[in-house]
Each structure stands twice: as C-alpha cells, then as structure tokens.
C-alpha cells in the first residue's frame, strides 16, 4: 500500500509542474538593397532550425525585393527608401541563394548567400 501511495504522490507532483518547451533559436538580420544591383551584406549566417527575421531596406533608386527561392520565402517588391520585414524558419545546415527576383536584377548580380550552420 505504501508503494502505491508514493506512486500516486509522485504522479500528482509530476503532473503539477508545467511542461517547459525549449525555445527555438532566432536570428534578426538587416539586408540593404544598394545601388548597382547589390545586397549588403551579401552573405548572412544563421543557426540551423532558427526563426529568421529579415529586415529588408531598399536604399537603391528602383524597386527591389529579397527572395530565398529554395525556402519559398521573400518580400514583396518595395520602392526606393522603403522597408519590409519577413520571418521564416530555416531547416538543416546548408547554403541557400537569396536574390532580387525583379526581372534582370539577379542576372545583373543582385544575389547573396544565406548560410545555415
């Protein structure tokens, strides 16, 4: 009988504690579209499994966007001196290209690398 009572007490004690969820890592990065079809920085690193927030600033003179095609993530095209933020989750380690997918911009060199480590 004593063992059963202890088991019930232990169960009650364990059930009384809230479950603690482990928080996923997060990363905040700012990327600027620069004149001359460039991103600054052109390489960013984030931890695997992180929730990534990209603060995209267009400091160029024409419309640009930030897109990671492989991750199906990206901003809308924004005009000069505008900002937009997006949040997405990265998976496994690897390198992913980000681009401006406005016609001709990636071909002109507006690309970069997202490194997931």
Could you tell me the pTM of the whole model?
Answer: 0.78
Q: How confident is the model at residue 9 (pLDDT cuts 50, 70, 90)?
A: low
- Indicate the fold that domain 24-116 takes in CATH: Immunoglobulin-like (2.60.40)
* Model pLDDT, residue 8: 53
Domain ranges across the chain: 24-116
* Model pLDDT, residue 21: 47
CA dihedral of 88, 89, 92, 96, whole degrees rounded to 10 = 10
Indicate the pairing of strand 38-40 with strand 67-68.
unpaired
């Amino acid at each position: 009988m004593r063992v059963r009572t202890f088991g019930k007490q232990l169960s009650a004690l364990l059930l009384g504690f809230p479950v603690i969820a482990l928080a996923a890592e997060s990363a905040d990065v700012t990327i600027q579209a620069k004149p001359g079809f460039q991103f600054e920085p052109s390489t960013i690193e984030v931890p695997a499994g992180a929730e990534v927030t990209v603060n995209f600033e267009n400091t160029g003179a024409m419309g640009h966007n930030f897109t990671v095609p492989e991750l199906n993530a990206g901003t809308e095209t924004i005009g000069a001196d505008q900002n937009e933020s997006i949040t997405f989750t990265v998976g496994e380690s690897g390198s992913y290209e980000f681009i401006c997918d406005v016609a001709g911009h990636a071909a002109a060199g507006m690309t970069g690398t997202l490194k997931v480590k």
